[in-house]
Structure 1
Amino acid sequence: MSQTGRPSGRPFSFWRPRVSTGYTPIYRIHKDGVDITDRFNDRTVQIKVELIAGGGEGDRCEIVVDDRDWLIARPYGGQKLQIWLGYDEVGLAYMGTFEIDDVIFEGMPRSIQITGTSTGFNDMKKSPQIANWDNKSVAEILGEIAGQAGLGMSIGEEIGSLKIPFKNQVVSNLHLIHELERMTGAVGKIVDGNLMFVKRDSTNSASGVALPTLVLQPEHFGTWKVRHTARPEFSGVKTRWWDEASKSFKSVEAGITGLLEGGAGDKPYPLVGNFKSAAEALAGAQAKAQAFKRAEIQGNFDLAKGDPWIRDQQTIIVTRMRDGINGSYVVDKAIHTYIKSTGIRSTLECRSPGDGVDYSDRGPDWLLSPDPGDVMGTVLRLTPDDL
């Protein structure tokens, strides 16, 4: 088994969660690298982890412990907690390393609430910074920002190579990362002391590792809510950039892919921006067009059985439900909660893919209809020969 609890040695493209109630929920907690799980076993009331796909936010954790006899050692801000959630019969999924930034002592009953943010997130400068970049790539700009905060960096090659002819910074480094997200259609977040920057809705992480697709069927749901919102009446997104050679503005346009039923408008959305090249302008137009597409469908799924291996940016296929629910989704936020009295709960906040891709086209029918009894986290069959 790998440290995530999934079988090692095999590539995985798809999996589905198991809804069996026979699993025993477990967790592991390290403080500054030391395993302190045994100190929590009789005390833990709840462990909640939120994994968020960028947008200027960091992953967060919240731990509530029973402090009935005041024997728990006092936690301090700045201490680092590593958290795993999982099942005794399957294994543990690594949630991340979090730096404590808030401690609340409360009563009655006596308890301690500890909250933390992804390690390195609080090191990012929040105050406005003055900087200028001339003909630098996204990777070069982010590399300098990461270096200032003492962070490592992992960035998708395609998006990292995009050149920004000129960028003037008058905002905080965190806000600048968010600006680059909007300009390039990327997800920027800080995980375990590393600045990650990868194309949004990508099937690969910033480190190049393939993200498996989760298949959900009716038996996997506790509750669900899917909302369809009328799309803007635009045929696409149009913007312009300044061509220094000709001393004139030129236009580019990106279509909104996979529009909902009802037909598109005949006018593009006018995106205002200070773009200095065709590539920069086109990236901005495409990012806005994909944001329109993602806003069309929002899904909130509360799973019947928690699956802490699910991450933000995970791709999902919902099948065997009804029209309007079935389809492809991308996880915007995954919330995994260990509750002493009930076990592990997973809640997924999802949106439709910005590029309009139908994930069910990735595999044949037998791939989306696995036999019952597959263990949580087991790789679904990739070819008929694996049967």
Structure 2
Amino acid sequence: MFAAQSAESAAASQQPEAYRYPRPIWRVIVAGQDVTGEVRPRLQSLTITECRSDQADQLDLVLDDHDGRLELPARGVSVRVLLGWESTGLVDKGTFEVDEVEFSGPPDVITLRARSADMKSALRTRSARSFHGTTIKAIVETIAKAHGLTAVVGTFGNTKVQHIDQTDESDLAFLNRIGKRYDAVATVKDQRLLFLPIEHGKTASGKDMPTVTLSRRDGDRIRFHIADRDSYTGVRASWQDKGKAKRRHVLAGVIGNAKRLRQLYASETDALEAARAEWARIRRGMATFEMDLAYGRPDLSPQTKIRLPSIKAPLNEYTWLNVKLVHQLDGNGLTTKLEAETAEAADARAEDEAQPGGDLPAVDIEDAD
């Protein structure tokens, strides 16, 4: 069907607008050369998987090699992919580097697996160092500069860090360990090192992502799951009060069946941030949502917020946050599968902190021992 695009496009242009079927469009650029024309008659499937956090975006390209004329590409070759629809145009899904090549048959096919070129191997190289008397923003900027990237940091960038060690872990793992304390995530997009709150969807330039509205007719399969909201009532974290030589605790949420963090924090502020971040993660994960979009949405990306106003309660009561997206182009067209969790924890946290005696108080409790 791809090889006959020109003839099909000509025929479609003669049909009334109301009877036209949506047509996916795409481009594949290898090592700077547009090879869409060569790939089109051989394409079996093109799949892009996008995830949150430090996981690299992945491209899987399956090509027909029935005549044996395809050469196995070298690893490290760059592949840029653009996906979209005739009616809305192309969306640049980024540049990938081939790191796996597979040949199988019969029927003979070649599968290329590539990962986001932004996730440089150096970012995943283990190292050790320490930071003293600094801020989150300064730490992120130091790491970004070392890799030739531009740092984009959230509103907590000026948060002070008394001391933290990077111990035999990659820069990305180190940043995501810090992010876990502040409910943030580190990733690389478009030559930018992003360190942003999970609940605040941002583009690679640091701008707010628009909230997308979806309806039942946009998908052909929906799955909603909600967990027991009473399983945890909050999160408890401990810190060492050196002045009084006592261990104290803070609580995010309410006393009851509170999850207890094992780490002992250096200050009340550090403990409270960690407790709040973990409580936000728990609340987000209480409800999850999956949807298969028959009409693919390559414009969606992780951290995009979604509303479902026309779908039954309680799905329409939440704002959802994309966690994972799989865009697939094959003989059936262009589709998107999305996985999301609730973004309500962020809104609830803002309300709680604004009201004395709210759901996230700082509770100071002395240990009896």
Question: Structure 1-normalised TM-score?
Answer: 0.78
1:213 aligns with 2:189: no
> Which residue does the alignment assign to 2:353?
none
Aligned to 2:312, which of 308, 318, 322? 322
Q: Which stretches of structure 1, 4 residues or longer, exceed 6 Å deviation after superposition? A: none
Aligned to 1:9: none
Structure 1 position 347 matched with structure 2 position 337: yes
Q: 1:232 to 1:127 in 2, by over 3 A?
A: farther
Please show how residues 191-206 of structure 1 align to structure 2 within 5 Å: 191-205=189-203
1:66-125: CA deviations, max 9, x gaps?
Answer: 122233343111111111111122201111111111111222111111111111324235
**Secondary structure, in 3 states, of the residue corresponding to 1:271?**
strand
Distance in 2 of aligned mates of 1:124 and 1:184: 25
Aligned to 1:290: 280
Following superposition, the deviation at residue 232 of structure 1 comes to 5.0
Tell me the distance in 2 between the aligned counterparts of 1:272 and 1:354: 26
Deviation at 1:212, TM superposition (A): 0.9
- 1:102 is aligned to 100
TM-superposed deviation, 1:126:
3.9
Q: Which has the larger radius of gyration?
A: 2
Q: Does 1:39 align with 2:41?
A: no
- Write out per-residue CA displacement over residues 274-295 of structure 1, whole angstroms, 9 at most, x where no aligned residue: 4233333222111101111111
Could you say what secondary structure the match of 1:288 adopts? helix
Mapping of residues 330-341 of structure 1, within 5 Å: 330-339=321-330, 341=331
C-alpha distance 154-207 of structure 1, shift in aligned 2 (>3 A): farther
Report the secondary structure of 1:305's partner residue.
Answer: coil
Say which structure is richer in helix. Answer: 2
Residue identity in the other structure for 1:167: I
Return closer, same or farther for 1:222/1:294 CA change in 2, 3 Å cut-off.
same
Amino acid at match of 2:87: E
SS at match of 2:265: coil
Alpha-carbon distance in 2 for matches of 1:151, 1:278: 35
1:242-281 aligned within 5 A = 242-244=240-242, 247-255=245-253, 266-281=256-271
Q: Counterpart of 1:362? A: none
What amino acid is the match of 1:51? E
Calculate percent identity across the aligned residue pairs: 23
SS in 2 for 1:273: strand
CA distance 1:154–1:126, change in 2 (3 Å):
closer
With a CA cutoff of 8 Å and minimum separation of 6, indicate the structure with the bigger relative contact order: 1
Query: Which residue in 1 is equivalent to 2:293?
Result: 303
Task: Provide the C-alpha distance between the structure 1 equivalents of 2:295 and 2:224, rounded to a whole number of angstroms.
Answer: 19
Aligned-pair distance for 1:29? Answer: 1.4
CA shift for structure 1 position 127: 4.9
Amino acid paired to 2:334? I
Separation in 2 of the partners of 1:333 and 1:52?
5
> Could you tell me how far apart the structure 1 residues matched to 2:131 and 2:236 are?
25
Per-residue deviation, 1:243: 4.4
Larger relative strand fraction: 2
1:203–1:315 CA contact under 8 A, matched in 2: yes
User: Which residue identity does 2:39 align to in structure 1?
Assistant: F
Q: Which one-letter code corresponds to 1:328 in the other structure?
A: T
Mapping for residues 109-124 of structure 1, pairs under 5 Å: 109-124=107-122
- TM-score for both structures, normalised by structure 2: 0.82
Question: In 2, distance between residues paired with 1:254 and 1:206?
Answer: 31
What is the total number of aligned residue pairs between the two structures? 328
Task: Write out aligned runs for 1:1-387 (5 A).
Answer: 22-54=21-53, 56-148=54-146, 150-173=147-170, 174-205=172-203, 207-231=205-229, 233-244=231-242, 247-255=245-253, 266-326=256-316, 327-339=318-330, 341-353=331-343, 355=345, 357=347
2-structure distance, mates of 1:165, 1:248: 20
Partner of 1:12: none
- The offset of 1:32, in angstroms, is 2.7
Is the contact made by 2:192 and 2:204 (CA closer than 8 Å) also made in structure 1?
no
3-state DSSP class of the match of 2:345?
A: coil
Distance 1:235 1:219, change over 3 A: same
Give 1:214 deviation, angstroms.
Answer: 1.1
Distance 1:129 1:42, change over 3 A: same
Cα pair 1:67 1:111 within 8 Å, conserved: yes
Contact 2:296 2:327 in 1 (8 A): yes
Displacement after TM superposition at 1:250 (Å): 4.1
Q: Any gaps of 5 or more consecutive residues in structure 2?
A: 1-18, 349-369
SS of equivalent to 1:266: coil
